[in-house]
Structure 1
Amino acid sequence: MGHNLYHGAFIWVALVFVVLEALYIAFVRKEAYDVRQTAASLGVAVGNTLLRPLTALMVMAVFPFAAQFAPWHLSMTDPWVWIVAFIGFEFLYYWMHRFSHTIRWLWASHAVHHSANSFNLPAAVRLGWTNVISGEWLMFLPMVLLGFPPLMVVILLTANLIYQFFLHTELSPKWGVLEYVLNTPAHHRIHHASNVQYLDRNFGGVLIVFDKWFGTFAEDDQSEPVVFGLTTPIHSHNPFVIALREWRRMLGDVMRSKSLGEAAGNLFGRPK
């Protein structure tokens, strides 16, 4: 209940920042602002918010059940447990995010987030509707099985998503030395780029260090303008089209498969 209230309160905070960003772009920078795309992103966000309780119910059922089998039961009052949990969570988040770009079943949900053709705060809330079945949340189960309290994992995920909301803007300056360690707007804009040299880069949540360690880090090389969105862009502003397009494409490929192996590849191979 507390988590849902916290999420609900942040929605209103996010809307305030969305409006402030739009006003700054339109009246200070005097640049065109795509109101229809923002409305589409907010429509997708409404669907995500309505369906989010389904994922929450699964987490509340699976995580406490799994916690019974943990060899340790770590305390939420120990600061060192939080430090280790944060690093462990960021490690798992990196791989969850990376798999969401390289496994089509996961990409079917995650592609929604990358469908915005501009990089701004509304793009941050353009989140998929099908996380309960795509199963990204299962990537954090190892933390529970190691003894970290389920509530701690949920808090870390909530904090991670709130932090990343503020990364979705081109209005932020660079963050100086923090750019070496943290995921920043400059790093995350490259993650949302569809230019070939930037595909599947910068998967970090709060930290960027795992991208540097595992060879997926990239900076803007200034060779050409950064293009945002999917490699096959979505031009529709219909939230249902945006949220379900990749599922329709994937299942269509499965239906046309000529063998079980080909069907499995269409479900769990690399996105097309």
Structure 2
Amino acid sequence: METYAKTLLYAIPGFVILLLIEFVYGYFKGKQTYRAMDTIAGLSAGISNIIKSTLGLTIMIVSYDWVAERISIFQIEDTLTVYIIGFICIDFAGYWAHRLNHTINYFWNIHLVHHSSEEFNLACALRQTISNIFGYYGLFLIPAALLGVPATVIAIISPIHLFLQFWYHTKHIPKLGWLEYIIITPSQHRVHHAINKEYLDKNLGQIFCLWDRIFGTFQEELDDVPPVYGITRPVNTWNPFKINFSHLWILIKDAWHTNNYWDKLRIWFMPLGWRPSDVIEKFPIPYIEDPYNFEKYEPQLSKGLSLWSWVQFITTLVLMLFMFGTFAEIGFPQLFVYGTFLFISIYGYTAMMDKDISGNVVEILRGVSGISYITLFEGWFTLDNYVAFGSEIMLAYFALSIFMAIYFWKEIIYTTPQKKDKIDQLTPQV
């Protein structure tokens, strides 16, 4: 976990620079693909995922090591060839894991957050899940295990394979000629993120488009069908925690409300979107029927609240990078405490972005807890070892957070989030 944290310490600034380049390019070309609060929400989802991953907050059911030890037929030496074989096996596994996420009700909850943005840009690539509570990816790597690909090779290649999926989340790169027949391109991935009926659940590959072409899930981007982005049942929130568990909450409620005991069991493993017949009419769920005629989620925030949201996001990002840089020094279990503060921070400011008063309450409680922690432990973790008056700065920050949560209380409590007129755009699912 420490090695992964150190890797991210260098990777994250690189991602941020590329985002800024795309933003500036879109600005000067007059084709901007970013909205402020959508960007904060997406990047905050990414931060949440990274914190969860580095702290190891996943229950491992089946690991690759366990599978490889039991079914390996061959033994391959650690050469360039084994890395190539391992990369192909990971991409094959990624295709089927991705297809499962788009096929089965329960697994969609793991993937939904990645599709939740109604824009398409590099920030979407960083919208990753925290709802993957159970680790079972080793099952998809059975071909690699049979071939005897060492676990160390898989561990090295996996983050590289993941990072290589970043670049094609953009609208600014057109079709790439002959490369369209070999790799996943921005054009192909625009199709994957679209909610047009022609594009739904297509182009599930991650690096190579071969799997889509073989298994019948390939769809070219059509000139006369511009992609519309998002999900067909909009989450209407900037809060990554709510987004991550929104579909799971629907499944739980449907399983509770249905009178059919068989439906209570099978709903989790039925095709994506399936609901028991006796709850569809009683508890209709709005969905987008016409992708060309709906309003994007955009609560109207004051300039002050928008600016404060950026301040909170940037502060959380900096605090996370500091955690990665001092991972071993902070150590466990203090890392869990640090991570909890970051999780609570993300919930607080994104809820305020939704004009949800619970965000203000959480921010006040977080501020009080932060001041209490610094007072009780005489400092903010190891910050004073690196920054002069670091703990005093954090005290001032927590005090300011409390003040701003109170200051924006009136704006949030006396104004409602922008409500969408669902009548024309959304209809009950049938």
Secondary structure of 1:164 counterpart: coil
Q: Which amino acid aligns with 1:263?
A: K
Q: Which amino acid aligns with 1:150?
A: A
Gaps of 5+ in 2: 274-430
Q: Which amino acid aligns with 2:21?
A: L
Q: Which amino acid aligns with 2:93?
A: L
List per-residue Cα deviations over 1:73-126 (Å, max 9, x = no partner): 3222x2222222222222221111111100112111101101111110111010
Matches of 1:246 and 1:136, distance apart in 2: 21
Q: Which is higher, the Rg of structure 1 or of structure 2?
A: 2
Alignment of 1:99-138 (within 5 A): 99-133=100-134, 135-136=136-137, 138=139
In the alignment, is residue 75 of structure 1 matched against residue 42 of structure 2?
no
**Is contact 1:40-1:238 (8 Å) kept?**
yes
The answer for the alignment partner of 2:173 in structure 1 is 172
The answer for the alignment partner of 1:247 in structure 2 is 248
Q: Compare relative contact order (CA 8 Å, sep 6+) and give the higher one, 1 or 2.
A: 1
Q: Which amino acid aligns with 1:73?
A: Q
The answer for the alignment partner of 1:208 in structure 2 is 209
Compared CA separation, residues 246 and 61, structure 1 to 2 (3 A): closer
Compared CA separation, residues 57 and 152, structure 1 to 2 (3 A): farther
Gaps of 5+ in 1: none
The answer for the alignment partner of 1:197 in structure 2 is 198
Alignment of 1:176-191 (within 5 A): 176-191=177-192
Secondary structure of 2:254 counterpart: helix
Matches of 2:134 and 2:256, distance apart in 1: 19
The answer for the alignment partner of 1:36 in structure 2 is 37
**Is contact 1:45-1:126 (8 Å) kept?**
yes
List per-residue Cα deviations over 1:184-217 (Å, max 9, x = no partner): 1010110000001101100111100111111110
Matches of 1:64 and 1:33, distance apart in 2: 41
Q: How far did residue 260 of structure 1 move?
A: 4.0
Matches of 1:32 and 1:200, distance apart in 2: 23
Q: Structure 1 length normalisation: TM-score?
A: 0.90
Secondary structure of 2:134 counterpart: helix
Q: How far did residue 145 of structure 1 move?
A: 5.1
Matches of 2:62 and 2:215, distance apart in 1: 33
What is the number of equivalent residue pairs in this alignment? 271
Matches of 2:59 and 2:5, distance apart in 1: 14
CA RMSD of the aligned region, Å? 2.3
Q: How far did residue 46 of structure 1 move?
A: 1.3
Q: How far did residue 237 of structure 1 move?
A: 1.2
Compared CA separation, residues 196 and 126, structure 1 to 2 (3 A): same
Matches of 1:258 and 1:22, distance apart in 2: 51
After the TM superposition, list the runs of 4 or more consecutive aligned residues in structure 1 that deviate by more than 4 angstroms.
54-61
The answer for the alignment partner of 1:20 in structure 2 is 21
Percent of residue pairs bearing the same amino acid type: 31
Q: Structure 2 length normalisation: TM-score?
A: 0.59
The answer for the alignment partner of 2:271 in structure 1 is 270
Secondary structure of 1:198 counterpart: coil
